[in-house]
Amino acid sequence: MLKTETIKNKFGNSKELLKIENFGITFDTAEGQLTALEEIDLSVFDHETLGIIGESGSGKTTLATAIMGLIPENARVTGDIKFNDSVLINEDGFGKNYRKLKKKTRKMLDIKLQEIRWRDISMIFQGSMNAFNPSYTIEKQIGEVFRIHTNLRDDQIHKKCIETIEFAGLNPQVLSAFPHELSGGMKQRAVIAMALALSPKLVIADEPTTGLDVITQAKIISELKKLKQTALNSMIVISHDVGVVSQLADTVMVLYAGKIMEIGPTWDVYERSLNPYTMALLNSYPSIEAAKTYISGIPGSLPDPLSAKTGCYFAPRCKFADQTCLSQIPKLREISPGRYSRCHYAEKFLNKDTYKDEKKESTHGTDYNPNAEPVLKVEE
């Protein structure tokens, strides 16, 4: 299993909380079979935070919802997802096409997954407004989690709701409000509160800062850091923003077109990428350390998930690609202890001098003078 020994060394004899083996998802569509995820192998241990990064359409949210057991009826699954040594998802249940399972079998699967959701695994869904029913108050929706999974009385549930919302940094008065009456940041904190209501062993945060202003983003990241230190056993943080993941994750996994491209300790991956896609992804974000830096995008687009592929999925967009890359699919290999990369030439990138970051100086702002009078000045 990928990165197992590395994480054990880092977290002591930590228990393997989540284990995913050779996992894949395809969807039956009118145009044919659409491949969303392939050959996903990973482990998440107690007290570990795993970050998952990649551009939109890479399969991040599909993986998150699969872990929660929220798999559409037109999906086919290969491989296994295990939680606490118990099989959560496998091809025996979903690989035979969920729609065609007998009603009794489907009901048993649904009951099993419902027992685990929120109690053992919870999720901070992308887009806080969509996570709430606009017709009900915040308390009714957080309280529903306790009603389904506990035997608490109504007065006890009310007390639990207050404790939960206060832990997320909100005033208990928020409980009587409807979702549309809260700001974006308050809604996001309320979603976090609901995800933590039953003290789950694993929390999945899917794009927790998307759509929020910079100040609110900083507050949400601060809240997640606090939760990581005080409340959570394990967390998976999913984001297209590499900066968010760098602040929260112990380990980072890079997804591209449904495949793992690279995995390893977060700061090691950020400092010394062993995969051209990771390099391109990191270079597409601005750096506060380099002045007048040209921000390079990634040319091209993701491959068509409906089409058969030959060679490395990233090869058509990769500046290092050659004929081998275009004709042979690379395997995910351990390049150095704890560092895995899906690239034929990953070993070359171990020496940072073999690839220089091709960041160019911007042609704009050449007359900038840091000692000049400011054009705009805001005080107090």
| Segment 153-171, tens digit of pLDDT | 999 999 999 999 998 889 9
Query: Strand locations in the chain, DSSP E?
Result: 16-29, 32-45, 49-53, 75-83, 86-90, 121-124, 202-206, 234-239, 251-256, 259-265, 333-336, 339-341
DSSP characters for 29-77? ETTEEEEEEEEEEEEEETT-EEEEE--TTSSHHHHHHHHTT---TTEEE
Examine residue 378 and state whether it is found in any structural domain, yes or no: no
Given a cut of 70, whether residue 100 has pLDDT beyond it is no
Cβ–Cβ contacts within 10 Å for residue 93, how many?
20
pLDDT tens, 168-210? 889 999 999 999 999 888 898 899 889 888 889 999 999 888 7
| Distance in angstroms (rounded) separating the CA atoms of residues 269 and 252 | 7
| φ/ψ (deg, to 5) at 277 | -70, -45
Instruction: Say if residue 195 is in the same domain as residue 207.
Output: no
Per-residue pLDDT, 363: 39
Residue where a domain stops, chosen among 179, 199, 219: 199
CATH for 260:
3.40.50.300
Phi, psi of 196 (to 5 degrees): -95, 0
CA angle 128, 133, 138 (to 5 degrees): 75
φ/ψ of 251, rounded to 5, equals: -125, 145
The pair of three-digit structure tokens given for residue 319, joined into one six-digit string:
């500046």
Same domain, 193 and 147: yes
Residue 95 placed within a domain: yes
The answer to whether position 363 is within a domain reads no
Q: How far apart are CA 76 and CA 99, in angstroms?
A: 10
Q: How far apart (Å, rounded) are the C-alpha atoms in residues 238 and 235?
A: 10
| Stronger pLDDT, 101 or 282, i.e. the higher one | 282
Q: Does 205 lie in the same domain as 195? A: no
CA-to-CA distance for 274 and 260, rounded, in angstroms?
A: 13
Same domain? 208 vs 346: yes
Residue 366 counted as domain residue: no
Cβ atoms 227, 196 nearer than 8 A:
yes
Start-to-end C-alpha separation, the chain: 54
Is 374 a domain residue?
no
**Range from 82-86, 107-111, 120-124 carrying the lowest mean pLDDT:** 107-111
**Do 156 and 239 have their domain in common?**
no
Q: What is the pLDDT of residue 368?
A: 44
Same domain for 189 and 246, yes or no, is: no
> What confidence category does residue 294 fall into, taking pLDDT thresholds of 50, 70 and 90?
low
Same domain, 137 and 189: yes
Q: Are residues 77 and 19 in the same domain?
A: yes
| pLDDT beyond 50 at 357 | no
Among residues 199, 218, 251, the one where a domain terminates is: 199
What does the pLDDT read at residue 73? 81
Query: CA 38 to CA 40: how far, in whole Å?
Result: 6
Domain boundary among 199, 215, 246: 199
Residues 186 and 299 in one domain: no
Residue 125 resides in a domain: no
Specify if 335 maps to a domain.
yes
pLDDT given at position 291: 55
CA distance 196 to 187: 14
pLDDT for position 364: 38
Structure tokens at 296: 């390079």
Which residues 6+ apart lie within 8 Å of 40 measured at CB? 20, 22, 23, 24, 63, 79, 260
Residue range of the domain that includes 194: 133-199
Residue type, 64: A
The whole-model pTM stands at 0.83
270 and 210 part of one domain: yes
Instruction: State percent of the chain over pLDDT 90.
Output: 46
Inside any domain, residue 367: no
Residues 189, 216 within the same domain: no
- Residue 332 confidence (pLDDT) above 80: yes
Q: How many domains does the chain have?
A: 2
The predicted pLDDT at position 114 comes to 74
Each residue of 23-67: pLDDT tens digit? 999 999 999 899 999 999 999 999 899 999 999 899 999 999 999
Q: Which residue has the higher pLDDT, 287 or 199?
A: 199
Does 267 lie in the same domain as 227? yes
Q: Pairing relation of β-strands 234-239 and 49-53?
A: parallel
Mean confidence (pLDDT) of the chain: 83
Local confidence band at 81 (pLDDT 50, 70, 90 cut-offs): very high
pLDDT at position 352:
63
Mean pLDDT on 6-33: 78
